């Protein structure tokens, strides 16, 4: 399975250090702001020491209790009433603390001297608390959104890698099944070629088990894997098969998705060789130009399959899987896959242009 760690949005918590830093910055800014307004920084410090614990209580109660327990459960009226009642009680508390601990004029920025708990005072203070709550809630929602976006992105990545791994496992068992059939046939015939094909198979097994988990593999290793596969097929088909593979260009330091090319070649044998009687020819070409590989495989179409349904037939589990792997593993501008038939020669072609840098 892909080694990806996913963080659940529900378990996401901002470090307490960031909470402390936020409130300290906010407190300092508010103290300096109102100290400059009143021209009395001591008075501003005292009122903020009273006001900020109230801000914090209302803010945390809203984002961690009222919103999850009421708003998210669509209890809108209860949420509004509870929030307004909580703010009103906190404003009443703030009035009394300011009156008895700081100054009897509890609203110096108001239109007149205020020594009583008036409606205007209550409304103005409640609006101020709503502002703070809204500001803090907006920060929390933004952080939650970013965390959820990261979680979804990580989950999509894990799903893609899991699907790619699943598609690889669909290819490998199919290949092993065919190869084991080859060994079985040779063993029955007591052929001297049995040990050779077992050795080739073991090399392929090692490669498929240990080298294909990487997102990209060197093109050199992929070509060696293909050569081992071709050697196995040549042993099986003997003189009835001709395989011509040509390579041009610099293959060093070039990388490609593992066993991608092998899937096309395996498909050519499955439908072009195994379903035809007599002499069969397979052509394989790999051309490196700049940062792209131009890969071509041609094989005779199955004699029992008509031209109109050959592509659909040959594009079964093999070509469908590799097409999906291309779509999942590469950007659309990094590859171009073409499947076509040539009626005059009754030949099926796979042409792939793919970035290998």
Confidence category of residue 4, pLDDT binned at 50, 70, 90:
very low
Three-state DSSP at 298 gives: strand
Per-residue pLDDT at 60: 95
Q: Which of 37-51, 52-66, 224-238, 329-343 is the least confident region?
A: 224-238
pTM of the entire structure?
0.53
- Domain ranges for the chain, please list them: 9-153, 191-355
Number of Cβ within a 10 Å radius of residue 54: 19
* 9 vs 87, residue with greater confidence: 87
- How far from the centroid of its chain's Cα atoms is residue 320's Cα? 22
* 228 vs 6, residue with greater confidence: 228
| 314 touches 267 (CB < 8 A) | yes
* 10 vs 35, residue with greater confidence: 35
Per-residue pLDDT at 53: 95
Per-residue pLDDT at 93: 96
Is 246 a residue whose pLDDT tops 90? Answer: yes
Is 63 a residue whose pLDDT tops 90? Answer: yes
Is 228 a residue whose pLDDT tops 70? Answer: yes
Q: Which of 30-39, 167-176, 205-214, 342-351 is the least confident region?
A: 167-176
| 272 touches 282 (CB < 8 A) | yes
Confidence category of residue 83, pLDDT binned at 50, 70, 90:
very high
Average pLDDT of the chain is: 83
Instruction: Provide the residue count of the chain.
Output: 357
What percent of the chain is modeled with pLDDT above 90?
45
Number of Cβ within a 10 Å radius of residue 177: 9
Per-residue pLDDT at 239: 72
Per-residue model confidence as pLDDT tens digits over 144-182: 898 888 888 877 776 666 665 655 555 556 567 767 887
Dist. CA 159–CA 171, nearest whole Å: 19
Is 117 a residue whose pLDDT tops 90? Answer: yes
Per-residue pLDDT at 194: 82
Pairing of strands 217-218, 255-256: antiparallel
Is 274 a residue whose pLDDT tops 80? Answer: no
CATH topology of domain 191-355: Heat Shock Protein 90 (3.30.565)
Pairing of strands 241-248, 280-289: parallel
Confidence category of residue 11, pLDDT binned at 50, 70, 90:
very low
Number of Cβ within a 10 Å radius of residue 247: 12
The CA–CA distances, whole Å, from 172 to 220, 259, 318 equal 20, 9, 10
What percent of the chain is modeled with pLDDT above 70?
83
Confidence category of residue 5, pLDDT binned at 50, 70, 90:
very low
Per-residue model confidence as pLDDT tens digits over 278-330: 678 899 999 999 899 999 999 888 765 444 444 444 445 567 778 888 887 88
């Amino acid at each position: 399975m892909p080694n990806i760690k996913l963080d659940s949005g529900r378990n996401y918590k901002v470090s307490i250090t960031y909470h402390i830093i936020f409130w300290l910055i906010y407190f300092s800014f508010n103290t300096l702001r109102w100290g400059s307004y009143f021209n009395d920084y001591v008075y501003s410090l005292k009122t903020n020491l009273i006001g900020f614990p109230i801000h914090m209580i209302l803010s945390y109660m809203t984002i961690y209790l009222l919103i999850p327990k009421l708003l998210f459960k669509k209890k809108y009226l209860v949420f509004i009433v509870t929030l307004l009642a909580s703010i009103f009680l906190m404003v009443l508390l703030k009035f009394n603390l300011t009156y008895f601990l700081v100054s009897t004029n509890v609203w110096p920025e108001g239109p007149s001297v205020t020594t009583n708990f008036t409606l205007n005072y209550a409304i103005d203070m409640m609006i101020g608390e709503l502002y703070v709550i809204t500001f803090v809630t907006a920060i929390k929602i933004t952080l939650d959104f970013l965390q959820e976006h990261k979680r979804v992105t990580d989950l999509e990545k894990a799903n893609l890698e899991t699907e790619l791994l699943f598609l690889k496992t669909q290819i490998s068992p199919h290949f092993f099944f065919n190869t084991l059939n080859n060994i079985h046939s040779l063993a029955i015939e007591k052929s001297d070629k049995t040990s050779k094909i077992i050795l080739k198979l073991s090399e392929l097994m090692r490669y498929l088990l240990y080298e294909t988990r990487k997102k990209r593999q060197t093109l050199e290793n992929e070509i060696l894997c293909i050569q081992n596969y071709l050697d196995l097929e040549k042993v099986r088909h003997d003189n009835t098969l001709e395989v011509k593979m040509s390579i041009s260009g610099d293959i060093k330091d070039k990388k490609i998705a593992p066993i991608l090319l092998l899937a096309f070649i395996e498909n050519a044998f499955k439908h072009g060789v195994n379903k035809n009687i007599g002499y069969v020819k397979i052509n394989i070409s790999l051309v490196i130009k700049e940062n792209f590989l131009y890969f071509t495989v041609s094989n005779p179409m199955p004699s029992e399959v008509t031209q109109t349904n050959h592509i659909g037939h040959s594009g079964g589990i093999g070509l469908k899987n590799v097409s999906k792997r291309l779509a999942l593993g590469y950007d659309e501008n990094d590859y171009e896959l073409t499947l076509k038939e040539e009626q005059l020669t009754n030949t099926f072609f796979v042409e792939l242009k793919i970035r290998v840098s």
